[in-house]
Amino acid sequence: AAEQGVQMVLGGWSARHERAAQCRGLGLMRSTVFFLALLSLSLIHHTANALSSHTLNFGPSSNLKPQPKTPTTAPNHARTPSHAPGFQSSPAFQFPHLQLRPTVQAGRRYATSAASPLSQPARLAAAPKLARSARLAPLMMVSRDAAQTAEAQMPLTVFREELEAGRVTPENLQEKLQGTPLPKNPRHITGVLPNGLEYSILPNRAPAGRFECHLQVKAGSADETVKQQGMAHMCEHVSYMGSRKRERLFGTSSQTNAQTDFHHTVYWASCPTLRPSTGVPMLPLALDALLDVMEARFEGSRVEKERSAILSEAAMVNTIDYRVEVQLLAALHGENRLRKRFPIGLVEQIQNWSTSEVQEFHRAHYRPNNAHLYVIGDVDPELAEALVHKMFSHLEARPAPEYAAEEEMEFPNLKTQNPFFPPINHYWSGSKVFGRDACSVHSFEHELMQGVSLHVFAKFPVEPIVTLQDYLAAVVKRLVVVALQVRLNVHSRGDPISMVEFSYLDSPREACAVSALDMMATAQHWPQAVNIVVREIKKMALYGLSQSELQRCLSALLSDSSQLAAQGDRMSNQEQLQFLMESKACGHTFMDPHQLQEATNLVASCISLEQVNEAAAALCLPLATFGKEGSPMPSSLVACFPPGTKISENEVVAAFESAAAQEVASMEEVRVPATLIAPEKQRQLIAERKPTWLPDLQGEGDDDGFGVVQKRLSNGIKVNYRSSEAESQRGHIRVTVPCGRTMESEFKRGAMAIGARTMQEGGAMLGWSREQVELFCVDHLIMAEVASNEEFLFMEFVFPTSKVSEGPDHVTGVEGVMQVLHALLHAYKWEEDALDRAKQAFRQAHEQVGKNLEAAAAEHLLSAMTDKDYRFLSVEPADLEALSLDDVKHAIESFLTTDNIEVSFSGDLSGPEVEALALTYLGTIPPSESQIKSRPLSIPMASAAPPGGRNLFLEVPDSDARAVAYVAGTAPNKWGVMAGGQEALAEPAATGVDDVAGGRKRGGLLPYLKKFGQGITRRGGEGAQGAVSTTLDQDFRRHPLFPCVTLQLLQEVLNRRLFSTVRERKRLTYDANFHLTAFERIQGSWYLVTVTAKPELAQKALDACKETLHAAQTWDPITRDNLQSAAYELISRHEGALQTNRYWVELMSGLQLECVPGKDPSYYRDFAPMIQSVHVGDVQAMLDCLATDEQGMWTCIGSSGGSAGAEGAAEDGADDMDLHGHQPPSIATGRRI
């Protein structure tokens, strides 16, 4: 993930390797990933994620900000703008070169499913897990009434009674566990129509007033014939993107999309229960759109449109990440058709299919007896079931297609056993052994590779979890994985290892469970890295876990179980649905959180250290005994490396054999503190420093029902907090320090960015070593991040508010965070080895900027726009070498003064508890004052265009032809301030309006109001927090939030326009999007339009983007319908996000900072009414504040594979194609088209 200045995802990462990034060194876990682990994985899988990342509390950050989209699974819709009501906390994330993961080729295996957009609900649903779906534990649902509870819970109740009565003994334990079925969620309604269509209905009221429908067709790329490679994906595009019934959902705050994978194609619609404008029920419309998929008509024009989009997508996804992933999957599944059935397909075939051939695939596989329909949300289950019967019963069942012998389709196969699996078979791990079979290594050499990545895989059957014994076995296996990952994070970090992860996951998309060791190391010392990693694995195999390790993992398990049960019916539709679909696919019993908590408590009480260590030996021995005669051979071994490294197959095998042959001793125990600050020390600090609260900043009751409290400590630290039970037993803290990379002009270049990363990489404090502090955070499930962007230094913490470990001296998670924060702000120990690791990460990131097409082109563009201002570019290696530990320490500590620190908290803790902890741990920090005073800063702008002008080109070496194009220019910052300090929408003394052509004079708002009239309206009512907001003062344009919401509306509208024009009408791209960097402190900002295209169409795609901006300013201005659709979307996302701690922390951050004068309580209080009040003319006027003319606009085309300057023409008549009114609705992260 990403330190400041290096925050981009190169390509996309699979869910598993996102976690691998989190697990580098002592890294911190991104909150969105944490919530994903908490909410969208099964409990055991969550614990594995959480603990493996908890070891990383001050190491390489995984970045708490949402991920940009995943190019390997790119959207059919333009990306959604930043999360309302604020933009991202780190403006730099919009420029790809500022978002680069330094170790991206660490082995991303599981993101090859074709297509789908990531959007800002990513914060809620988090990164996509469908790519590596189906977790090893049973899944869960909502609460139910007492009678249902008692009946559903009966098997567990009986087992508990027998356990308490002493009738369960060591001798009959396994029999009793195996004889106790896991309870099924009593509110989960299932059925099968006479035509074979299966359905699942799940009532859920989180969020209230919304539901989701998903249609799962059990046919994916693995079902294709030799001549149909990519047809499942093509069929998905044509079936849904061409649906007129789907278009009826546009403008209703609905989101639609689809995903193609190896084993299935899933179509979905997320809708409000009632249409916002009319109150008409939306469920029939959503089901009708999915029914239309089953009855799709294949029009030639629609097929051609989607053919163009898919060809553009194929070029876009072909990043080095994608190519590595293809190599890994091809090696792992060399014995079956997955190795050559990637969902994106073969370009030469996609170019030549006829409409009838695509329709034939649809008829063969889109059968009701080959589909499953899911409905979840705020719906009447009886009504939903009746609608399913009424609307889908007429579909005719058809037999499955037959395959010719030359297709090499094995029968029987795993799909005949489980229809959710792809039609393949596997050679399971152990079928080959050393001494009898040859060990082969799959090698991949490429110039875009950074360092050496090594991957060892073993495949096993998916084991359904339906009894307590199954669940216990799954728990034990997870505990081993968690404990081993903790060891690898704590003890195997730093040079030469960039990343290492050991995992065991179920994958229904691959019809197997996969155990994997993934690691990345420097090219010079990769054998040493192998030796270090295998040594830790061998220790685990021979000596197992210690009692304290087991207790640590069990405590985390039980804590997570308790938190999930407390969350209950507040789990979102998206998470619930993913749980249900994954449990269906793997054959797991689908439980609700309360049932799961009871099952977890029961199996935890039955687990012994001996059981766990037996599982540890079984999981680890294959690597610990690598090369030994008779030992099981891995399913695959893959080595990826850059040219010049030249790693032979024999060298790889020899390195693992040598590592496995080394002698190892058992791990030395590290004493883990129960508390970082002893109670007597706390009392001493309070007595010495006498912390107090200053008088309240707000009058009593001034929070308008939103619950936000602002206070200030006597030492100057500012505190904002809000108590919330929306995420039970969870909390989120953000520390905001105004400084950032823009202040590096006062220090050495890169000092702020490297200083923040050095804090992240370290961890020693208060007399405790880094290892002790890491394990303290593991024990208390604390995740954290320290990062710097251009404007701020951030520290973020995600944690439980309750106790995780029991004991008289153990503190709660929130108190543990406060102790860590106290040390970070006052008693942090700066370490040379932490600086070395920080520099290593930045070196890798800088190198990768040059190798990544998107990042390199964006860096080239921004360098020209800013006149090479280093503060907005990646840190140069020479600047890294010039930095000493004193340099970075001085830079950071110059701003870590109590008068410059703001702490914002949201979570499940009462106000008095928050204030008491803040007074104890923040109030006792000695007062200090920054000697560097904040001053107005403007975005840097080149004084003159470079010799080649403002239209730039860049060629990046690569074997394959790819292209990306950017359009950029200046824009107002988040608060509507232009570079130089001028207000974007300042009203002039006198203005005029040009006539019909729409040519406008810049600098005025009033003329547009006269021309465009009234804005949108939306029914008033009680807001999400109980505050009634119907109208604002007539002078709403003076509201500090006005520029912010106007910019967001503009961003939303332009994204939709780009999608409709550049993709739909001109067929030049698969994805075009518009983003605003939206700085908060810096005067001015930038907009950035990104478009991917085939190299020969890059210039035309870029021109089409420019034309779209020009049209919106002239002959095709923004309409009321445009504005209404955008407003519905922003308000819907805002209302959903209000249920998360993360969002509230974002809303509160900056409330008390003088350098962010536009932010006050009205920022969150008035967001919805402000959206409702903005007029079309306001948005149009804001558009005129963007530098979109030829004198102010910059462009850059980046190309690779010798494609620079290549141009081609779009098909004749493309501009005349019918435009069906497609709009790019916001899609939850991980939903793919």
Active site residues: 236, 306
- Calpha distance 845→834 (Å, rounded): 17
Mapped to the 3 state alphabet, what secondary structure does 930-978 carry? Answer: CCCCCCCCECCCCCCCCCCCCEEEEEECCCCCEEEEEEEEEECCCCCEC
Rounded to whole angstroms, what are the CA distances from 215 to 30, 270, 473, 1034?
31, 12, 32, 47
In 10 A of CB 420, how many CB atoms? 21
Q: How many angstroms from the chain centroid is the CA of residue 601?
A: 30
Tell me if residue 618 falls in helix, strand or coil. helix
Residue 655's φ and ψ, nearest 5 degrees, are -65, -40
Task: Copy the structure tokens of residue 1191.
Answer: 């004198």
Q: Is 877 exposed, middle or buried (0-12, 13-18, 19+ CB in 10 A)?
A: middle
Going by their DSSP bridges, the two strands 718-723 and 902-907 should be labelled as: parallel
Cβ distance 112 to 175 under 8 Å? no
The residues, ordered by sequence, that sit 6+ positions from 37 with a Cβ below 8 Å of its Cβ are 45, 46, 49, 50, 53
Q: 1198 near 853, Cβ under 8 Å?
A: yes
CB 866 within 8 A of CB 942: yes
Q: Which amino acid is residue 1217, in one-letter code? A: M
DSSP codes joined into one string, 1077-1092? ---SSSB-EEEEEEEE
What is the helix, strand, coil percentage profile of the chain, to 5? 40, 15, 45
Asked if 6 and 842 touch (Cβ cutoff 8 Å), the reply is: yes
Report d(CA 778, CA 550) in Å as an integer: 12
Structure tokens at 458: 């073993």
> Which pair of tokens denotes residue 870?
């280093």
Contact (Cβ atoms closer than 8 angstroms) between residue 219 and residue 232: yes
Which DSSP category does 671 fall into?
Answer: P
d(CA 877, CA 846): 7
Per the CB < 8 A criterion, the answer to whether 1004 and 988 are in contact is yes
Q: What is the 3-state secondary structure (H, E, C) of 769-817?
A: CHHHHHHHHHHCCCEEEEEECCCEEEEEEEEECCCCCCCCCCCCHHHHH
Q: Give the dihedral sign, CA 1199/1202/1207/1212.
A: negative
Omega before residue 207 within 30° of 0, cis = yes
Q: Cα separation of 744 and 895, whole Å?
A: 12
What's the CA gap between 238 and 455, in Å, rounded? Answer: 37
Per-residue b or e along 330-340, where b marks 16 or more CB atoms closer than 10 Å to that residue's CB = bbbbeebbbeb
Name the CA radius of gyration of the chain, rounded: 29
| Geometric angle at alpha carbon 565, from 563 and 568, rounded to 5° | 110
| Bond before 634 cis per omega within 30 degrees | no
Lookup result for tokens 């369960």: 168
- Which residue reads 């503009």 in tokens? 1050
How far is 803 from 555, CA to CA, in rounded Å? 9
Enter the DSSP assignment of 139: B
